[in-house]
Amino acid sequence: MSHNIAYSTADKADVLAYLGSKGDLTPDRQRRLGGMRKDARAHQEALDHQGVDWGLSIPDALDHLIAGRTDADAECAGNAYHSALQHIIDHNASDPSHLGTYAKPSTFFGLVDDEMRRLGVPADLLPHGYLYGGLPEGFPYLPSSIDGYPAIGHLPLAKAKPAADAYRAVLDRMDPDFRYDVRELIEKLEFEHGEWEYAAKNIDWYTQDTLFFKLT
């Protein structure tokens, strides 16, 4: 089974504002919450149609997150919580972009990490570390998804350019089997850095600070 990796940019504070809010939100956030609930219901209907039962529905998981709890004891509750949180991210982030589709992304990027580590790329910039690094500091604990998917990773936008520079510096010395995918990652990180740098300087209301990765 293949897995897709997508990403978008957001202000992590905008996402955190919903978690444990108990619905005490600004009118704009209330409007966004309505959209999240609609998408959560549609997502659940698709799972129901496929005969997938996680023991906790995505709409209920979303309600739990808004209430500030992640204590459902269903075996697959982590799948529902990750899906619900992704809907919160999606309604507070840029349009998603596609990074790639991989048969075994954790294995592949684990090998990329090994190669980059051998070539001197700093540990905090290795891609497996942020693709599978979970949520930013300050976010609540989420039970793990069964089989590891869906999953959420993150990278501060301030690290996008340092990561791209570090990868580009070693690209020609990497195993050829990794170069195409790493080059794609470099180009995407450089693009997001450029967008972030421009917006931070020229758009007064712009506060996005995080790349969120969605692994499904």
pLDDT tens, residue by residue, 52-107: 999 999 999 999 999 999 999 999 999 999 999 999 999 999 999 999 999 999 99
Identify whether the C-beta of residue 98 lies closer than 8 Å to the C-beta of residue 6. Answer: yes
Q: Inform me whether the pLDDT recorded for 1 exceeds 90.
A: no
Res 27: pLDDT: 96
Q: What percent of the chain shows pLDDT beyond 90? A: 99
pLDDT tens, residue by residue, 107-122: 999 999 999 999 999 9
The mean of the pLDDT values for the chain is 97
The reported pTM is: 0.94
Res 214: pLDDT: 98
DSSP string, 167-208: HHHHGGGS-HHHHHHHHHHHHHHHHHHHHHHHHHHH-TT---
- Segment 51-59 long-range contacts (CB within 8 Å, at least 24 positions apart): 54/79, 54/80, 55/80, 56/80, 56/81, 58/83, 58/84, 58/87, 59/84
Region 137-162: what's the mean pLDDT?
Answer: 96
Neighbours of 3 (CB within 10 A): 18
Res 128: pLDDT: 98
Region 19-34: what's the mean pLDDT?
Answer: 95
Cα diameter, the chain: 53
Name the strands in the sheet holding 210-215, side by side, starting at the edge strand that comes first in the sequence. 97-102, 3-10, 210-215, 151-156
